[in-house]
Amino acid sequence: MTEGPRAQALDPALWPRLSAAFDAALDLPADAREAWVAAQPADLAPALRALLQAHDGGAELPALDATAPAGQAGQRIGPYRLLSCLGVGGMAEVWGAEQVDGPLTGRRVAVKLPRGGGKLAGGRLGQRLIEERALLLGLEHPHIARLYDAGIEAGQPWLALEWVAGRPITEALAGRPQRARLIAFLQVLDAVRHAHARLVLHADLKPANILVGDDGRVKLLDFGIARLLHADGPRAFTPGLAAPEQQRGDALTVATDVHGLGGVLAALVPPAERSRALTAVIARAQAHAPTDRYADVEALAADIHRLLDHRPVAALPDARGYRLACWLRRQRWPLLGAAALLVGTAAALWQADTARREARRAEAANAYLLDLFKTLDRRAPDAAQPEAALRRLLAERSARIEATLPTDPDTADELLRITATLHDYLGDARRSRALAERRYRLLKDRLGLAQPRTQLAGMHLIWPLLASGDLAASAALLAELDPALPARGLLRAEWLLARHDLRERQGAAPAEREALLRAALAGYAADAPQDSGHAATWLALSELHAAQGRRDDALAAVDRALGLVERAQPYIASDHARQLLQRASLGAAGAAADEARALQLLRGSVGLRAPFVRQALAALVARRCAADRTAANALAAEAGVGGCAAAP
């Protein structure tokens, strides 16, 4: 990062004298300082004059020699001990450190120290660090490195930031599908949009300031030169990446960050890989005049979403051919039948037949569910027990599935899947397992293990196997599926989550379990960010952290889950309820509201006696016993768990 013209680097031997002279000059009236500075020795006067001008805001600091570090390994800064220097920038050093005092002893953080050391740090550099602290305190976002702590140690300001283990976004996503890179870029846009909503500019957006962790999560770093919108700030920029107005010294706006984001996108997708539409998006984001760029980050994000959805982008002029191509791509499945008639090839006919079979499966599934719930007769003996009535009806429909198998195995497969899932949510692990096993066996015999449908059926089977406690069968199935599944994608992410659940039941160490969960999160984030398993994996990580006593990490993880669950496909109310109960168990603000919402979701879906929410509800009863034993015991009776007398 560059900050205008710089003087020759200062001799470290000069710093003690310069610091004393600087303090003395500040004690003089402003109109007497220049005469006093001019009387100083020739080796001191120029640097002292530059330092005073920088302090008063009229000039930039002289360069500080990097040979004099701001910190040393083993040094104590506030409650932290410095471990190793992670990087040196134009204004500060970043050190890896660990907390050695307080309730979070052992926590890893990144400590940022202004360069120059001693009382020099109390001048303009120290002031910038204090300003950065004020900015970061207002930024609370999952894709922005969090500010944990800040202070001044022996006159030296410092910041303790979230430790982000990762690689620059261009390096981390190299070789990934373009769609995965664009989805990750949307995380960056969301972080910058959050900052802009709080009137904060980043002003130095580049790949080096955007890291991707092992969990696939993007983290935006270094608001060191950020300034409140419409406030005056230093002329600081990275050569070759800065917007034209930055290089001219003009006022900065949100358009400055839009320019930086365009540069990040250009680095993520090399020219040879860009479509015409993506080229136009980058060109608009990086337009020379701020008024020719996207009006804000929201507008840029909207065009990225259009790219992902194969819709025309706003950045490309209205061209009939381009818009027709987008329409055809979006309508490729509905047009398969027409294409088959026009082209007349066997391949097109096969595709059309496949589409018809898929439509028939979907239609049969919808009819099956509709018929099932229409048949819940209020006059039946079990009308007051809807779960029992649903089990009875499912058993009756099993004969229909058996009759369908010989003539229409595809439709029968879909009905087996639905029935197994319904039994799972009714808590009937035995029946769910039997149906899922049959489905997997039939598909494996008919299509083979290499077919995605067979692999999907195998992953559907793993959950009832785990629910029934058959760890040997679970391990055998995962081992069978492992070499057949692709290295990446939704099924691999689900496999990793299932592997974690198995290893948890086998008593695996927390480190192994966390590695599996983070690998699963990376897969979901890259290839299936809206899948319901993505949120479920964050919940599992939160529960693991909570068991380790890592409350802050547990709370951050469950908040990630809650940020995903309502947009998840499919939305699962019971998962949402478990996440709310987990957040409440951590003592987060609004715990009572979270508990009430969780109970409302459960009562409206699977009820309070579903086996997969039993543990969370038992913990809720235990917490309520101290406040209201009567209400706690009533909840325990409804949920079928131990009441206050049985609570520890």
Task: Write out the DSSP string of 589-617.
Answer: TTHHHHHHHHHHHHHTTT-TT-GGGHHHH
Domain boundary residue, one of 143, 162, 181: 162
Q: Are 281 and 322 in contact (CB under 8 A)?
A: no
Same structural domain, 184 and 150: no
**Does the pLDDT at position 595 exceed 60?**
yes
pLDDT category of residue 389 using cuts at 50, 70 and 90: low
- Which residues on adjacent β-strands are paired with residue 112? 94, 159
Same structural domain, 556 and 645: no
In a domain, 472, yes or no: no
- C-alpha separations of 476 from 479, 502, 504, 613 in Å: 5, 11, 16, 27
Encoding tokens for residue 68? 């004099």
Q: Are 280 and 316 in contact (CB under 8 A)?
A: yes
| Contacting residues for 338 by C-beta, under 8 A, at least 6 apart | none
Among the residue ranges 87-91, 99-103, 181-185, the one predicted with the least confidence is: 87-91
Rounded Cα–Cα distance for residues 258 and 263 (Å): 9
Same structural domain, 141 and 197: no
Same structural domain, 129 and 209: no
Q: How many C-beta atoms lie closer than 10 Å to residue 192's C-beta?
A: 28
Same structural domain, 562 and 620: no
pLDDT category of residue 93 using cuts at 50, 70 and 90: confident
Q: Residue 590: what pLDDT?
A: 84
pLDDT category of residue 436 using cuts at 50, 70 and 90: confident
Percent of residues, the chain, with pLDDT higher than 70: 67
Amino acid (1-letter code) at residue 625:
C
In a domain, 90, yes or no: yes
Encoding tokens for residue 505? 């039941």
**Does the pLDDT at position 578 exceed 60?**
yes
Query: Which helix (H) or strand (E) element contains residue 77?
Result: strand 76-77
Instruction: Report phi then psi at 389, rounded to 5.
Output: -60, -40
Same structural domain, 143 and 232: no
Amino acid (1-letter code) at residue 497:
L
Among the residue ranges 12-26, 209-223, 323-337, the one predicted with the least confidence is: 323-337
pLDDT tens per residue, range 183-223: 889 989 988 988 888 778 888 888 888 998 877 789 998 76
How far does Cα 433 stand from its chain's mean position? 33
| Contacting residues for 141 by C-beta, under 8 A, at least 6 apart | 190, 191, 194, 195
**What would the mean pLDDT of 579-597 be, rounded to a whole number?**
88
Q: Are 224 and 127 in contact (CB under 8 A)?
A: no
Q: Are 535 and 561 in contact (CB under 8 A)?
A: yes
Q: Which residue segment(s) compose the domain that 497 sits in? A: 486-598
pLDDT category of residue 406 using cuts at 50, 70 and 90: very low
pLDDT tens per residue, range 263-299: 999 999 999 899 888 999 999 999 999 989 998 898 8
Q: Residue 520: what pLDDT?
A: 92
Q: Residue 383: what pLDDT?
A: 37
Q: Residue 643: what pLDDT?
A: 86
From the list 454, 458, 506, 463, the residue with the least C-alpha distance to 479 is 458
Same structural domain, 590 and 619: no
Q: Residue 409: what pLDDT?
A: 56
CATH number at residue 244: 1.10.510.10
Q: Residue 600: what pLDDT?
A: 84
Sign for the pseudo-dihedral over CA of 468, 471, 476, 480: positive
**Does the pLDDT at position 614 exceed 70?**
yes
Q: How many C-beta atoms lie closer than 10 Å to residue 634's C-beta?
A: 14
According to the 3-state scheme, what is the secondary structure of 132-173? HHHHHHCCCCCCECCEEEEEEECCEEEEEEECCCEEEHHHHC
Same structural domain, 154 and 245: no
In a domain, 421, yes or no: no
pLDDT tens per residue, range 473-528: 999 999 999 999 888 888 899 999 999 999 999 999 999 999 999 999 998 888 88
What is the average pLDDT score of the chain?
A: 74
Q: How many C-beta atoms lie closer than 10 Å to residue 487's C-beta?
A: 6
According to the 3-state scheme, what is the secondary structure of 443-466? HHHHHCCCCHHHHHHHHHHHHHHH
Same structural domain, 96 and 146: yes
Q: Which residues are annotated as a binding site for ATP?
A: 112
Q: Residue 128: what pLDDT?
A: 61
Helix (H, G, I), strand (E, B) or coil at 590: coil
In a domain, 441, yes or no: no
Q: What is the tally of structural domains in the chain?
A: 4
Which range among 91-105, 442-456, 494-508, 633-647 has the greatest average pLDDT? 494-508
Encoding tokens for residue 408? 């229409």
**What would the mean pLDDT of 113-142 be, rounded to a whole number?**
61
**Does the pLDDT at position 330 exceed 80?**
no
In a domain, 23, yes or no: no
**What would the mean pLDDT of 582-603 be, rounded to a whole number?**
86
**Does the pLDDT at position 116 exceed 70?**
no
Q: Residue 555: what pLDDT?
A: 93
**What would the mean pLDDT of 314-323 be, rounded to a whole number?**
64
Which range among 160-164, 357-361, 390-394, 549-553 has the greatest average pLDDT? 549-553
CATH number at residue 531: 1.25.40.10
How far does Cα 162 stand from its chain's mean position? 15
CATH number at residue 148: 3.30.200.20
In a domain, 502, yes or no: yes
**Does the pLDDT at position 117 exceed 50?**
no
**What would the mean pLDDT of 548-557 be, rounded to a whole number?**
93
In a domain, 31, yes or no: no
pLDDT category of residue 231 using cuts at 50, 70 and 90: very low
Rounded Cα–Cα distance for residues 444 and 424 (Å): 22
In a domain, 410, yes or no: no
DSSP 115: T
**Does the pLDDT at position 357 exceed 70?**
no
Which range among 177-181, 282-286, 378-382, 564-568 has the greatest average pLDDT? 282-286
CB burial class (10 A; 0-12, 13-18, 19+) of residue 317?
exposed
Same structural domain, 524 and 580: yes
Half-sphere exposure of 479 (CA within 13 A, CB side): 6
Q: Residue 343: what pLDDT?
A: 39
Q: What strands lie across the sheet with 210-213, from one edge to the other?
A: 166-168, 210-213, 218-220
pLDDT category of residue 61 using cuts at 50, 70 and 90: very low
Q: Which residues are annotated as a binding site?
A: 112
Q: Residue 370: what pLDDT?
A: 39
Percent of residues, the chain, with pLDDT higher than 90: 19
Q: Residue 545: what pLDDT?
A: 94
Rounded Cα–Cα distance for residues 99 and 82 (Å): 9
Residue with structure tokens 């979901």? 524
- C-alpha separations of 446 from 361, 439, 453 in Å: 17, 11, 11
pLDDT category of residue 175 using cuts at 50, 70 and 90: confident
Q: Residue 453: what pLDDT?
A: 81
Which range among 55-69, 94-108, 111-125 has the greatest average pLDDT? 94-108
Domain boundary residue, one of 279, 308, 330: 330
Same structural domain, 191 and 315: yes
Same structural domain, 594 and 615: no
Domain boundary residue, one of 296, 315, 330: 330
